């Protein structure tokens, strides 16, 4: 794994290609003041805002296995995963596109497809190994849908959220904010920025799903997605790969609930 900027002009190893390109193009860039603390804020928002909001919804009389809780559990974490990285980089930097590599180029489609296939194959192997020791298991999202008492249209909306929203916002947080913040932190402390960011972002991604039995699967997928970010300098390829990987679960959910 090369520990160097993707494009000359990057301020630290592992910096987004978009930042380096903007600097070389003569764009006037603001100092980036966001960092590791913003990862913590994203995680807190993604974890506790849904708990608070859904607790209020249930207290108001909404059924625990109803539409509001199911859809809320899918989209409310995006306040932390998506809104905070976007907000803090605009407030304390140059925005998510430049500071976090939140962009996509045509080559990212090819990298994303290759990464998606790698996620599916390696994730399946990790799942097989895990089930050998711990028995059969399902994802929390799949179990939530199958256990919910909701109309078909709600299942379809949930599936779209898993296929489109989750890849976009989770990649913005973990391969965008977390990867860049860890790389900057590691570089300042004399550590190899790209390896630290690659592994660190993958570990955070796997832990944030709060599914202990699926940790090997999630960590495997997270490492592939982080490697895509390290290779391309953007999160676009990771979004494509993430969506490709989620596609099969979405197809399974729509098939079982048909």
Average pLDDT value for the chain = 94
Rounded to whole angstroms, how far apart are CA atoms 75 and 48? 13
pLDDT, tens digit (0-9, with 9 covering 90-100), for 161-189:
999 999 999 999 999 999 999 999 999 99
Rounded to whole angstroms, how far apart are CA atoms 13 and 230? 10
pLDDT the model gives residue 8: 57
User: What is the average per-residue pLDDT within 117-126?
Assistant: 97
Maximum average pLDDT range among 11-20, 21-30, 76-85, 144-153: 76-85
- Which residues of the chain form beta strands (DSSP E)? none
Q: Say whether pLDDT at 1 is over 80.
A: no
pLDDT the model gives residue 257: 86
Domain range list for the chain: 17-256
Q: Say whether pLDDT at 17 is over 50.
A: yes
* pTM summary value: 0.94
Helix (H) or strand (E) holding 114: helix 106-134
From first CA to last CA, the distance across the chain in angstroms is: 44
| CB neighbours of residue 133 within 10 Å | 8
Q: Say whether pLDDT at 117 is over 50.
A: yes
pLDDT the model gives residue 2: 46
More confident residue, 46 or 135: 46
Percent of the chain scoring above 70 in pLDDT: 97
pLDDT, tens digit (0-9, with 9 covering 90-100), for 84-112:
999 999 999 999 999 999 999 999 999 99
Rounded to whole angstroms, how far apart are CA atoms 14 and 92? 19
pLDDT the model gives residue 3: 46
pLDDT the model gives residue 7: 52
């Amino acid at each position: 794994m090369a520990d160097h900027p993707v494009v000359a002009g990057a301020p630290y190893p592992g910096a987004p290609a978009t930042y380096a390109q903007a600097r070389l193009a003569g764009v006037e860039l603001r100092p980036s003041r966001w960092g590791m603390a913003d990862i913590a804020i994203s995680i807190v928002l993604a974890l506790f805002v849904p708990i608070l909001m859904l607790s209020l919804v249930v207290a108001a009389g909404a059924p625990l296995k109803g539409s509001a809780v199911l859809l809320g559990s899918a989209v409310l974490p995006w306040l932390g995963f998506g809104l905070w990285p976007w907000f803090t980089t605009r407030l304390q930097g140059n925005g998510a596109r430049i500071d976090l590599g939140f962009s996509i180029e045509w080559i990212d489609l090819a990298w994303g497809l290759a990464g998606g296939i790698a996620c599916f194959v390696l994730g399946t192997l990790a799942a097989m190994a895990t089930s050998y020791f711990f028995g059969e298991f399902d994802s929390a999202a799949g179990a939530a849908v199958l256990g919910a008492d909701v109309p078909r249209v709600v299942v379809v909306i949930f599936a779209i959220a898993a296929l489109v929203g989750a890849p976009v916002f989770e990649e913005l947080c973990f391969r965008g904010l977390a990867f860049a913040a860890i790389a900057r932190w590691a570089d300042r402390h004399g550590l190899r920025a790209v390896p630290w960011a690659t592994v660190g972002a993958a570990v955070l991604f796997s832990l944030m799903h709060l599914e202990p039995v699926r940790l090997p699967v999630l960590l495997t997928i997270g490492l592939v997605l982080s490697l895509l970010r390290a290779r391309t300098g953007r999160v676009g390829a990771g979004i494509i790969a993430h969506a490709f990987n989620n596609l099969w679960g979405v197809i399974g959910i729509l098939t079982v609930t048909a």
